[in-house]
Structure 1
Amino acid sequence: MMNMTATRSVVFWMMLLLGALTTWAALSAHAADSPVQATIVAPPTNTHGVSIETTAVIASGATEDTLTACTARIPEGASAGQRMLAEQSCVGEEKMRNAIRSAPTF
């Protein structure tokens, strides 16, 4: 017969194994129910007539930036408020660029 310490040890390891298997089964079942099955990366689209190479190279706020390029960077999925704020920012940046361009050089 097994002594009391050996019995406790066997019970401990069996409970530990049962807990690990239960956790693993719950996690794998949860992963199977996940709504995300794969990620599809779509190529960038050009909706404002600005070349994609131009928008990728010119940084936001740069002197070479244009109002059209700035508005082209506004995501299609933006809400109406986000789009309005982004368009106002683009207009403000364009006004600043025009002021800098028209300033006299010394």
Structure 2
Amino acid sequence: MKIELYIEGEKKLFTVPFVPIAAKRRFLELEVKAEERGDKKLTAQEQLDEDDEFTSILVDIVFKNQFTLEQVYEGASKEYMDSKLIEAIWGIKPTDERKPEDSEGNNQGE
């Protein structure tokens, strides 16, 4: 698995040879906590803490602290990190390549 982050204005590539099953296990543990909480609305601090816990799956478990949480928050978009978490947990790789027919403006008048 690989991840690209902008750190101090430079794009950096980080790789690992595989994703440990501990990543999925930690994700499921966090999901259990959310289920136990039920419909209770999170405070802002609780939401921040939960975001840190999910993101730390990538930082701590998958990439073994090759970068920090702060570097993730400052060096990548939410959408990108969500796709990387999905890749780590479920093995679904993001598709960055679009087919020409999917692009806007290919037909006359668009």
Q: Please indicate the TM-score interval, normalised by the length of the shorter structure.
A: under 0.3
Higher strand share: 2
Structure ranking higher in helix proportion: 1
TM-score, normalised by the number of residues in structure 1: 0.26
TM-score, length-scaled by structure 2: 0.25
**Which of the two has higher C-alpha Rg?**
1
